[in-house]
Structure 1
C-alpha cells in the first residue's frame, strides 16, 4: 500500500511537469528522483541467498556477522553485521531481510508508530519553497544512507554494532549486546531495539559483547568485555591484557541487572548450562575459558577449564555439558593463526571432545562463533561476508 502511494506521488509529479515552467521542471525532476529513491530505501531489503559450497552469502555490502540466534526447528536465524543492522535469514527462497537495528533514530527520519515512517523534505529555490511528505511502511528509522555498508574495521558509533545475541523461544524476544548502545531487546516484529541497560553498579558498559538466555527461566546472561576499553580500542586492551570485564545477569521479571563476576580479561563469550548451575565465559585476552558457578557450594567461585588461543563465543549443544567454542590454534613453525571450532565437555575439567579445523574456509582469519543446529555446524566471522554451513559435520 505504501509503495503504491510512493509511485502514485511520482506519477503525479511527472504529470505536473507538462504544465510547469522550465525552471520548475528541473526542480520538480530533482525532487521527484531524490524522494522516490529515499522512499524505496524505506522498504526492507530482501536478498536471495543461495547456499553454495556450504556458504550463505550476506546481502551486497554487508559484512561481519558476529553471532547467530536460531528460531526453533525452521532454520530461520538472526545475525548482526558491521553496519549496525540485524538481519533475519528466512531460508533459501527468501534469503535475508532487514529485521532490526540498535541505534536510535536520527537525521530527517523519525517514527510515528511501529510500522510507519514520515519523512519530511524541504526543497528550496530562489523564489519558491515546497515540502513533500513521503509515507513508507517500515519500522526501520535508522538512516540507511549514512550507515549501510559501514565496514567492520571501523564501526560507526552512530550506526551501532550488534554483537552477541540470543533468542528466547517462548517469548520470541531477541536479546542483543551492542558495542555502543549496551544491552537491549527486540520483539518479534523487529525494528528499533529497546534499550534495557547501559550500566550496572554505576559503571557504564564500554563493550557489551556476548549474550545467552536460559530458556526455562528466561534469565539472560551477558558480558561487558571491558570497563575501560571500547570496541575501537580492542588492540590496546589486548596489549595490556585488560582484566576489567564482567559477567552480568538480567532478570526479565524484575527488570534488574546484577553483576555476577568481575575481573575478567576480555569477556568475549558466555553460555549457561541447562540447569543454570554455571556459566562458561571465554577470556579472549588470556586465551582461556572460565567456569563460573552460579549456585551450590561453589557459587560465585570459578575454575579454568580450557586454555586455547583467541576464545570467542560459546554455544550450548543439545548434549548435556557439551559446548562449542570458537577459538584458534597457532602453527608452531610459522606462528600463523588457524581458526578452529572446539567442542568441550564442561563437566569436570573441560575435556576437548572434538576439534574442527576451519582454515580451508577462513585462511588465517579468526572466527567469532561456532554453533550446532539441525545436525549441521554454522560458523561466522567478523572478517567475512558469509555464514559457513558444514553439513553433517563433514570436514
Structure 2
C-alpha cells in the first residue's frame, strides 16, 4: 500500500472498498489524481456532476452564497430554498398543488417518500408497498427495505414491514396491485441493476393501476433526473403524471442535496411534525442547486443529453469488440452489455488508460458522463475505451 491507501485502510470504515485513486482537482470532464495522472471522467460521481468539475457557475454559486448564509436550520427559510422548490415543481410539471421537501441525499429522499406512503393509509387498510426486484433506493433502513437486492438487505434484517418486490413486468403489476397497496416505487431506469429500462408501457400501466386502487405512484428520479435521460425527469418520456418523485445526485451538481416533489393529493399528506431535517433545504445547498439547474436549462444540456447519448452508444457499438453485446439506457445514462463477466477488468484497464467508468455488475459497464460533453470528449472516450476493451479481451 502507498501512504494514502494505508491511511484509508487504518481510519475509514470498511463499509466500502479501497478507492481506485486519490483525486485532487478537476475541470470539465477531466479529473487529476494525487500522482498527477489525468482521467476522462465518464462517471461524473455516479451521475452527480452534471456540469462536470469546477464549472464556473457552480464555483460562483458556492462562493456567493457562502459569503452570505450557509445554514439557518428549518426554523427559518431563505430565498434559495423557495426558489428551488418553485423551480423543481415547474420542471417536474407538478402543477398548482406541487410541493417540495428537501433533505441531504437520495436515500433521505426515499425515506421521506416511504413515510409519505405510510400516510396514504386512511382507515388503516393500506399495509402493502410494492417495489421491484433489483431496484436500488438507498442504504438507510427504510430505503433499503425498498431495495430489491436481497444480498444488501440480509445483514440488516428484519426490514421495515410491508414491502414486497415484484418482477418488472406489467403482468406482475396487474397481479400485485389491489386496494391494500399504499404505494408503488419504481425507477424509470434501474441503474444499479445494470442500466435496465422498464418494459414498454410499464409506467403507463403502473399509473393506471395505482389510480384505480388509490395507491401512490412514486418514481425514483435520483439517477435519472436533472436532464440525464434527455428529459428533465425519466417519467416524462412516458407522458404520465406520478404522485411523487424523489431527486438528488445531478440536481446539486456535486453539492449534497436530495428532495421529494409531490403532485396533486399527495401534496396534502404530510402535516406539521411528520418529517424534518436539520440541514435539509439549507441556503448553500439550495443556492447551488438553483445555479446548476439554471445552467442546465440555459445551456440546453437536456437536449445535449438527448443527442449525445445515442451518439455515444453508436460509437461504442461500432468499436467491434467481441466483449460488447450491445448498449441500453437513455440519454447520458448508458449501460454497455458485455459478453463475459469481466466488467471489473474493463474498469481497471480503463483506469490505466485514463478513463473513469463503472461496473454496475459483472456484465455491465455503466457510463454517466457530465451533461456538458461534446464531440471532443466522445472522441477521446472512444479511443480510451477501445484500448480498455482490447486489454480485457486480448485474443
More helix by share: 2
Higher normalized contact order (CA 8 Å, seq sep 6+, divided by chain length) = 2
Structure number, greater radius of gyration = 1
**Fold shared by both chains (TM-score > 0.5):** no
Q: TM-score, normalised by structure 2?
A: 0.24
Structure in which a larger fraction of residues adopt strand: 1
**Normalising by structure 1, what TM-score?**
0.24
